[in-house]
């Protein structure tokens, strides 16, 4: 039963809403962009980006619910890693996916909503400050949202350190996001 839930989580993650948006518009994503919420925003505008964001958060939350609201159990950890892996390397879209940030957000909104919302606020604040102070002038370096998410993840890990089961699940899921982030930074999109 657990194996089926992990496979289901991966398949749910593999539904790339950004990829679907690009196919509906009969255009693809540039090689330098990702079919996640931020790539959809850059390519198709705020409305499409927000819709993809909400759908990606929703698929993470769905897997959180399917895991039985039990963070830190081995099946919940595997399901969390699977949904983010599916989003990052979707089987339905030739393994070309997003970065996993929105899906992780949705997953952990189920387990620690207040803490996740605080982390989200911090991440968005850092992203906005970085955008205004540096990135908007030359558009060089890491994109603002992924940079802000690094701080959000760090805060989340710190805040969850008193909840060992949720903390270690977050570490495991964040490792999948980190692997994709390194892959993106190395330009192996």
Range 19-47 average pLDDT = 72
Are residues 161 and 69 in contact, defined by beta-carbon separation less than 8 angstroms? Answer: no
- pLDDT tens digit string along 123-173? 999 999 998 998 888 877 777 888 888 899 889 889 888 888 889 999 999
Residue range(s) defining the domain that contains residue 114? 2-185
Count of domains forming the chain: 1
pLDDT digits (tens, 9 = 90+) for 77-101: 999 999 999 999 999 988 988 899 9
Contact 12, 58 (CB under 8 A): no
- Burial status of residue 40 (CB atoms within 10 A of its CB: 0-12, 13-18, 19 or more): buried
- Asked whether 30 and 107 are in contact (CB, 8 A), the reply is no
Query: Whole-model pTM?
Result: 0.87
| CA-wise closest residue to 64 among 4, 6, 15, 111 | 111
The count of residues in the chain is 189
- Asked if 93 and 189 touch (Cβ cutoff 8 Å), the reply is no
Residue 154 · residue 160 · CB < 8 Å: no
């Amino acid at each position: 039963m657990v194996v089926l839930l992990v496979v289901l989580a991966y398949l749910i993650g593999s539904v790339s809403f950004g990829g679907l948006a690009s196919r509906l518009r009969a255009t693809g994503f540039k090689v330098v962009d990702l079919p996640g919420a931020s790539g959809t925003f850059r390519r198709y505008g705020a409305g499409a980006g927000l819709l993809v964001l909400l759908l990606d958060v929703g698929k993470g939350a769905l897997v959180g619910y399917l895991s039985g609201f039990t963070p830190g159990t081995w099946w919940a950890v595997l399901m969390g890693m699977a949904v983010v892996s599916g989003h990052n390397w979707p089987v339905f879209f030739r393994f070309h996916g997003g970065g996993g940030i929105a899906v992780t957000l949705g997953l952990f909104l189920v387990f620690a909503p207040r803490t996740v919302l605080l982390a989200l606020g911090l991440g968005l604040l850092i992203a906005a400050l970085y955008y205004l102070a540096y990135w908007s002038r030359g558009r060089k370096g890491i994109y603002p949202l992924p940079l802000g998410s690094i701080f959000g993840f760090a805060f989340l890990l710190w805040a969850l350190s008193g909840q060992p089961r949720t903390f270690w699940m977050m570490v495991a899921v964040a490792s999948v996001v980190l692997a994709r982030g390194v892959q993106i930074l190395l330009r192996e999109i």
